[in-house]
């Protein structure tokens, strides 16, 4: 059983920690202001297709894996051509996608994603599945003189459970120059 002094010290410690947390003006888990590309990206509403793409750009601009992760479905698969093996498709799942994206977000000094023209877009009658092929440009800078530009198309399958839910990417077929 705790003594009165122990209870008082414990309560004081809890209050001090609470006061310290309340005095914080920044979220230690959020990206710091000024990180990212410095673009004027605005987070969109992923319940619309346009909003999903705006949120995607925003996640890259702020290097925020939490926002990015909300756009990627649990059963997500990414496909890309392995040009070293004659262009045979290679695939990875959501966990690898999130780790790869985290690595890019952490290591890139500059990161600028722009979604461009919609080449193809079709939404199912139920409004629960969509196919979108959209061109993009991604600039990644890892230091002075080490800037890469990737351009091409993202061939995406998007799904949602109800017409009022957010869209999520379930399949991404990379059609870029990378």
Q: What is the CATH number of the domain that holds 55?
A: 3.10.450.50
Find out whether 167 and 53 touch, Cβ atoms under 8 Å.
no
Do the domain assignments include residue 83?
Answer: yes
Higher confidence at residue 7 or residue 81?
Answer: 81
Mean pLDDT, residues 50-58 = 98
Please give the Cα distance from 125 to 17 (Å, whole number): 53
Do the domain assignments include residue 52?
Answer: yes
Total domains, the chain? 1
Do the domain assignments include residue 10?
Answer: no
* pLDDT of the residue at 17: 40
* pLDDT of the residue at 25: 45
Do the domain assignments include residue 154?
Answer: yes
Do the domain assignments include residue 9?
Answer: no
pTM for the structure as a whole: 0.77
Q: How far is CA 97 from CA 74, 77, 117, in A?
A: 11, 8, 24
Mean pLDDT, residues 32-46 = 62
Mean pLDDT, residues 11-40 = 45
Mean pLDDT, residues 79-96 = 94
Please give the Cα distance from 101 to 79 (Å, whole number): 15
pLDDT in tens, 116-140: 999 999 999 999 999 999 999 999 9
Please give the Cα distance from 95 to 72 (Å, whole number): 10
pLDDT in tens, 55-83: 999 999 999 999 999 999 999 999 999 98
Structure tokens at 3: 């003594």
Do the domain assignments include residue 13?
Answer: no
Please give the Cα distance from 20 to 18 (Å, whole number): 5
Kindly indicate the confidence band of residue 48, based on its pLDDT and cuts at 50, 70 and 90: very high
Domain containing 101 equals: 35-176
Please give the Cα distance from 94 to 72 (Å, whole number): 7
Do the domain assignments include residue 157?
Answer: yes
Do the domain assignments include residue 62?
Answer: yes
* pLDDT of the residue at 145: 86
């Amino acid at each position: 059983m705790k003594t009165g002094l122990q209870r008082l010290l414990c309560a004081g410690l809890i209050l001090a920690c609470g006061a310290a947390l309340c005095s914080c003006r920044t979220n230690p888990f959020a990206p710091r202001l000024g990180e990212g590309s410095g673009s004027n990206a605005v987070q969109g509403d992923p319940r619309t297709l346009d909003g999903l793409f705006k949120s995607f750009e925003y996640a890259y601009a702020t290097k925020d894996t939490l926002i990015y992760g909300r756009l990627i479905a649990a059963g997500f698969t990414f496909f890309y051509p392995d040009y070293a093996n004659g262009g045979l498709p290679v695939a990875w799942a959501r966990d690898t996608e999130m780790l790869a994206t985290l690595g890019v977000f952490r290591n890139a000094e500059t990161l600028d994603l722009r979604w461009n023209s919609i080449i193809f877009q079709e939404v199912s009658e139920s409004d629960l599945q969509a196919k979108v092929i959209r061109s993009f440009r991604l600039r990644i800078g890892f230091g002075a003189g080490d800037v890469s530009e990737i351009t091409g198309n993202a061939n995406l399958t998007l799904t949602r459970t109800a017409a009022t839910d957010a869209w999520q990417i379930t399949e991404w077929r990379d059609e870029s120059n990378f």
